């Protein structure tokens, strides 16, 4: 649970503007990922009935995606609390987003596929977390518990 309870998830008044924007990007992206994962679960259950082998693989991928989306939401909340390790972890999430965009584009073979918009959004959020004003905010919190 975020500090301040559920309402604390929506309180960002003390953050620098760059981190406010980055936080909302990560949080909304994670929540949309959770929504997409829940919808994907239903699709995988249908696929399990029609093609059990493929359905099982899709179900596993959807469960992994749900886990990553949940982790993104939690990491965004921890980053908002000033945890530098969460900022590093979200940077890694952006790197994974790049890898997935490349893999998806290669798999689409010119059919216009790819997760490039998702990567660009992750990249923007990541850059905002590392700008000087954000760096100064994290530095001001070092040593506090």
Give the tens place of pLDDT for each residue, 52-70.
888 888 888 888 888 888 9
Predicted local distance difference test score (pLDDT) of residue 68: 85
CA distance 22 to 30: 12
> Can you read off the two tokens belonging to residue 72?
């993104």
CA distance 5 to 63: 26
State how far the alpha carbon of 84 is from the alpha carbons of 22, 46, 130, 140, 143, in Å.
Answer: 14, 41, 11, 11, 11
The structure's pTM equals 0.82
Confidence grade of residue 76 (pLDDT, cut at 50, 70, 90): very high
Tell me if 86 sits within 8 A of 79, measured CB to CB: yes
Instruction: Considering only residues 94 and 104, tell me which one the structure prediction assigns the higher pLDDT.
Output: 94
CA distance 105 to 110: 7
Largest CA distance in the chain: 56
For helices 84-108 and 52-80, give the axis angle rounded to 10 degrees.
Answer: 150
H helices of the chain, where? 17-50, 52-80, 84-108, 116-130, 132-141
Q: What does the pLDDT look like over 101-144, one tens digit per residue? A: 777 666 556 555 556 777 888 899 999 999 999 999 999 988 76
């Amino acid at each position: 649970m975020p500090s301040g309870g559920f309402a604390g998830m929506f309180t960002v008044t003390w953050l620098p503007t760059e981190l406010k924007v980055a936080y909302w990007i990560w949080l909304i992206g994670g929540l949309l990922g959770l929504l997409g994962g829940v919808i994907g679960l239903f699709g995988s259950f249908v696929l399990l009935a029609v093609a059990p082998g493929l359905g099982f693989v899709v179900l596993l991928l959807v469960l992994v995606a749900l886990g990553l989306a949940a982790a993104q939401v939690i990491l965004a909340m921890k980053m908002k609390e000033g945890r530098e390790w969460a900022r590093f972890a979200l940077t890694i999430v952006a790197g994974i987003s790049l890898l997935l965009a490349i893999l998806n584009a290669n798999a689409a073979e010119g059919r216009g596929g790819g997760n490039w918009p998702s990567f660009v959004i992750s990249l923007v959020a990541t850059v905002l977390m590392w700008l000087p004003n954000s760096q100064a905010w994290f530095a001001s919190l070092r040593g506090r518990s």
